[in-house]
A and B are shown apart, each in its own frame.
Chain A
Amino acid sequence: MITAAAYLISLLLVFAAAFQDRCRSRQVAMLAASYVFYATGGIGFLAVLVASSCLNFALGEYLRRKPDLKRLWIGILFNVLLLSFFKYLPSFGSAAVSTSWTADLLNRVAVPVGISFWTLLALSYLFDVYREEEINPSLLEFCLYMAFWPTVIMGPICRLSTMLPQFQQVRGVAIEDVLAGARRIGIGLLMKVVLSQLLASGLSGIDGVAAGFDREAQDWGGFDVWFLAVGFGFQLFFDFAAFSHIVIGAARIFGFRLDENFNSPYLSSTPSEFWTRWHMSLSFWIRDYVFIPMAALRRGTLWRYFMLLFSMILFGLWHGAKATFILWGAYSGALLVLHRVSQQLQRRWGLNFSSRLAATLSWAVSFLAVSLGWVFFRANTLDQALRMVQTVLAPVAYSRFVLPQSYYVLVSALVIGYFAIESISKALASRSVLVSSPNTATDFNAVSPFLWNARWWWLSPMIGALLLFHHFVVSTTNVDLTPFVYRLF
């Protein structure tokens, strides 16, 4: 009841903020809305967020007076210690300590919601001050940046340089923003409630990705593991991209433009390209604040390969203190290094793989390699992850099938459907651009922009059919909606 009232107050404050004429009162209302919203997770969590915001603002001012490495390190240490205390100490500590009361105490440490996300916001601010970027927020603006209600729970990890000018603008609610935002929210809900949920729980509610990974008998066949890996990869994509759509849409309704977090990642033709399209805000954060500064410290290719591995292990560790996340990071880093080495060899030997067949092969290999990595990300234990990868590598395992046929049909249908829609949309969009040139005015080119511009007329019935299918197939199984995966991080 209290939570529902808090959500309502928060929403009313957001609307009140939207109609304020003065910049400062708008910021105050927006910050109040953000704090009320965040406090629904717990007043203690809000206290940690407020304390971190004030301390980081003070650290930023201290760094601004003399932007040197020593002062930057103080800020980095503060944030890393804060994050480690809440996120990593309970896992590492309870495993390491022998006395039961200490373990019990550590288990009682609750992780403030979104701390992994807003700690990176604070760190990026300190790095930017060190770089002498022209950003000079007030305390109110900085607190708003840290607690901004759409992004505080699960990102995207925006930069202050893009948010500050928006906080300082006064604008009402524009109808085109409302429509664009509502459309993004609709797409997000479709991806989460229908697509991600279908994959998570399966057609009968008990034969989805979750059941596949949580089987007691770990006797998967080779194809079982591949389909679980691909199925989970798509479930995670539909889940996290859905949240990003909803957040970006909700912010857009009130006139805020947030950074995109996904850009058709499964169309990437190399592992490097994948990491410029998947969880982009975190990927670019690691690139800008970890990889480039560290890799440039020393010359030599080996050092850079090492830093690629290190950056990706950090990427994995950010998700949690679990061996499976570290292994997933190391595996992703190894893929990036392998891609670099293959690029170097191609260049040295003068090989040119620019044909369509080579591009398709490159895409297929990258897709399968990235998908296999999801086994490490999702597996319940390290032992399970290694067992599944061993299964993939054993030819005899490909004659064994333990997952139900309906799971294979579901994953195949959703994956093929996804690629078909992506390909058609991209083809129509590019044709739509091409016809602006008078030389390409063929009949097909005249039809395709019409199809593209009117896509919501023919896509809507398809979406409606999917919703009906979801209603009759999944809702009748009384399965609870799976929570967002990234809320755990």
Chain B
Amino acid sequence: MNPLDQNSQANALLDYIVREVIGRPGISLSADSPLVSSGLIDSFALVDLLAKLEDVTGMRIPAGKVQPKDMDTVNLMLLTATRIGKPKKSS
């Protein structure tokens, strides 16, 4: 899978959060909207988002190295992926 550019990654994540995680298509979110600290997403959804983040960025992200505060906004998620992610081995 070809990783998307930063803007497309952010849009893909936002779209997924609005449709699949929060389940309210009308809600308006930006890449800097707080998600965990505002209570919009909980720990269960955070695990879903980690998997989605791996798909979108094409990185393997060790979950043991991630804290909820690292996933508070879409921009922070992408930063975390860049900081601790490793490129996935192609199968």
Contacts and interface: CB of A to CB of B under 8 A. Distances in A.
Interface of A: 69, 72, 127, 130-133, 272, 276, 287-288, 291-293, 295-297, 299, 304, 308, 340, 347
A130 B65 contact: yes
13 contacts: A69-B64, A131-B67, A133-B67, A272-B42, A272-B44, A287-B43, A288-B67, A292-B43, A292-B46, A292-B47, A296-B50, A304-B44, A308-B44
Nearest to B23: A347
Contact of A130 (B23, B50, B64): B64
Most-contacted residue by chain B among A130, A276, A291, A296 (CB, 10 A): A296
Contacts of A291: 43, 47
Contacts of B79: none
Interface string B46-82: 1100110000000000011111100000000000000
Interface of B: 23, 39, 42-44, 46-47, 50-51, 63-68, 84
Contacts of B39: 276
B47 A296 contact: yes
Contacts of B43: 287, 291-292
A-B pairs, 6 with minimum CB distance: A296-B63, A293-B64, A295-B47, A293-B63, A287-B43, A131-B65
Contact of A287 (B23, B51, B68): B68
A292 B42 contact: no
Contacts of A272: 42, 44
A131 B61 CA distance: 12
A130 B47 CA distance: 20
Most-contacted residue by chain B among A72, A131, A291 (CB, 10 A): A131
A76 to B, nearest CB: 11
A288 B84 CA distance: 17
A352 to B, nearest CB: 10
Contacts of A69: 64
A127 B64 CA distance: 8
Contacts of A276: 39, 42
